Structures are given as structure tokens and as C-alpha cells.
Amino acid sequence: RRDGLTRLELDKRWISARTGKRCTSSGFQTQRQKQRVAPAATAKYEGHMDWALRAYQRVLEMFIKIGVDSLKAYNPTAYEILKNNADIKNIPALGSHDNCAFLSVQINMASAVKYESSEFNTRLRLHKYELLSGEGLVGEMSESGTEHFDKSDARAGYTCMIASPFLNGHVNYEPGRFHLLELGFYVILSATLAVLFQGLRYHAGTPARAPPGEEVDPNVTRFVVVLYPPSTALEGNASFTMCAGPRNEPILSVPDAEDYGHCLSVKNANIAQDGPAIMQHISVITVLVRFVIQFMVMMLRQLPIEYNLKIDTDKILEAVSFDEEIKDKDGSIIVRRRTLDPWPNAPPIYGHRKDEYAEMGKCIFELSTHYLSGNSNG
């Protein structure tokens, strides 16, 4: 710690959330106006993992695993429902591959306060003291430190609060509490623990407090990770920012793509809608599936090169089949199932095949020169 702050807070990646100066967001964030979901700014990856990125990664992996395991143990039925929901909507698994419940994470730091806080006999007056002094949960965490409910949470989801207090050896400190106000229930935060609850219900916390007459040890800190179930993503109303696209624009996975009972259409001419009028079935299906492969290569190329990704395009093409009508010898129509042919010149993920394209360009040039010279029969 330095100046009452942890190393994580002192790092340039720490971006204080709107909920308080000692709060930051990780995991995925939702751009509310456009309903877009993308990795939080703290996760900006520029080709290498620095200390802070690794720290955030460890926090996500460790604490989300705790949250998921807690949900599995407490309500396995709810976990299975959320798992199927994530599978249908293709919701990204944050932190742990079996995570289907939590998509947003907030990291909160909380210092201890002087015992004088206990002289205020109402929470409202305590809030006033904390705001004026800059101390306590309200002073450090703004609205996250007071009574509140998380209005952006999914109705069918759970919030998981995981608190890990560091009292720096002070056994006489009051550790603080976490309150579920509507239930008249609280948990004493004397050790690392996880609390699953519905974030749409009012909840709050109180800070650790020093004994009467003692100055506060600035190294006493409560580290809290809150795992959220954002409604926009879990209820299928969000667009996920998948990857970079042409013209410096991101490419989105939109909710319309999950409406499997509805076929999209536009007024503009396009191959999927109008191709069947001018192409054979095998041709229109082949070119569309190849477009998908080209898009897949463009997207996977943006992942770290150490992943050493490979695509078996022939298997992808073979996995697509369709009904084809052919005439028998006697003129009768026979319907058979057909798969797509291999693609010998499929694009690779790594490398640009410059030699192959250069050679092909040379051949095309020679062919055009040959035709223009009048030797089309030669």
C-alpha cells in the first residue's frame, strides 16, 4: 500500500467506476445507450500481459470459480437453467469456462474507519459523516457503499459478493458487515466468504472499525469482488462486440442472430436471397459457406499468435449438407443428400499466402495479355 491505496489501485489500469473512487470494473461492460457488451477498459490487451493484466486475470479466474461453485452447490437447478440459457444465447464464459451466471465484475477496496462512527445512531447520519470526512464505504465507494439495489441485474440471476478482509493482525477491530436489508439479515465479514443474493433487493455494508480511541491502521483493507448478472446480456437484449472489422468499425453479434424462428431480409440485392435465381444450389451454398470461413479466419487472426490456431476447412465444408434433386435415367426426380467439396485454396489463419497470390496474379496477367494479343486459340 501507498497513501492508503493498494498496488492495484496505483496501477495505470485502475479506472475508477462511476460508483466510487475505490471501485473498478472488470470482465464485460455494457454500453447502455447502444446495448453493446464488450470487455471492460481495464482489460485492454496490447499483445502482452503486464503485471496488472495478470492480476485482474487471477482475480477473475479465482473469484468467478468461487461464485460458480457456490451457485452449483446452493441451487444446482438454477445453475443448469442459466447454463442452457448461456448455451442458447452464446454468452461468453468470463473467468471460468463453466461460468454461465456472471458477466460483469466490480472490484471494491474499503478502508477501516475510526470508532467515532458508532456514535451516530442512524445510518443516515453515518452517511453524512462519511461523505463529509471522505471516510467509510460511502466516502470511498459512493453509491456502492450505501443502501442500494442493482437495477441492471437480470431478474433470474444471482449476484455473488465475495469479501476478503485484511485486518493486518488487529484482532480487536470490528470487521464490518454485509446487510440484506429487506430480509433483516447480515453477515459478519470476519473471514473470506461468498454471499449469493438477488441484487434487485436492497443491500448495503459497513466498514471495519478500529477500537475506541485508536487511530486507524491505513493498511487495514477489505477486498471485495462482486459478480453481477447483467440483464441486457443474460436476457438476450445485448449486442456483443466480437472483433475488429473493415473501415475501423467493430463487428457485432446482434440479438436478431439468435431469433432462429425468423429469417432476416433486406431490400438490397444479395447472394443469400437472390443467388438461387442465378446460381446452382451447390454454387450458392458453397460460396456462402466459404464467406463464413473467410470471416472466421479474419476474426481468429486477431487472437494472440501463441494460440497457434488452425482450421480444418474441409471438415467445415463437409459438415454442411443439403438436398439436391437429380434426374434418374428414366427421367424421374431423385432427392439425395449432398455435402460441399473441399477448398484447396482456403485462406490460412497465419500468413497472407503472398507467394500464391502473386503467382496467381502473374497467371491472370499472362492470360489477359494472351487474349488481348489475338491468340485466344493458342
pLDDT tens track for 152-202: 999 999 999 999 999 888 989 999 899 998 888 899 999 999 999 999 999
63 close to 55: Cβ distance less than 8 angstroms: no
pLDDT at 126: 44
**pLDDT tens-digit series, residues 53-87:** 999 999 999 999 999 999 999 999 999 999 999 99
pTM for the complete prediction?
Answer: 0.83
pLDDT at 164: 92
Answer with the residue of higher pLDDT: 378 or 257. 257
The pLDDT mean for the chain works out to: 86
Percent of the chain beyond pLDDT 90?
52
**pLDDT tens-digit series, residues 209-252:** 899 888 989 889 899 999 999 999 999 899 999 999 998 999 99
**Nearest residue to 43 via CA among 89, 91, 95, 6:** 95
- Domains belonging to the chain, first-starting first, are 7-234 (3.60.130.30), 239-372 (no CATH)
Amino acid present at 114: K
Strands (E) in the chain, as ranges, are 16-17, 20-31, 36-39, 104-111, 159-166, 177-180, 185-188, 193-197, 203-206, 221-228, 239-244, 250-253, 321-327, 333-339
Least confident piece of the model among 13-22, 98-107, 275-284, 328-337: 13-22
Main-chain phi, psi angles of 115, to 5 degrees: -65, -20
Place of cell 465475495: 162
Place of cell 446487510: 179
**pLDDT tens-digit series, residues 233-245:** 999 899 999 999 9
Q: Is the pLDDT of residue 119 over 50?
A: no
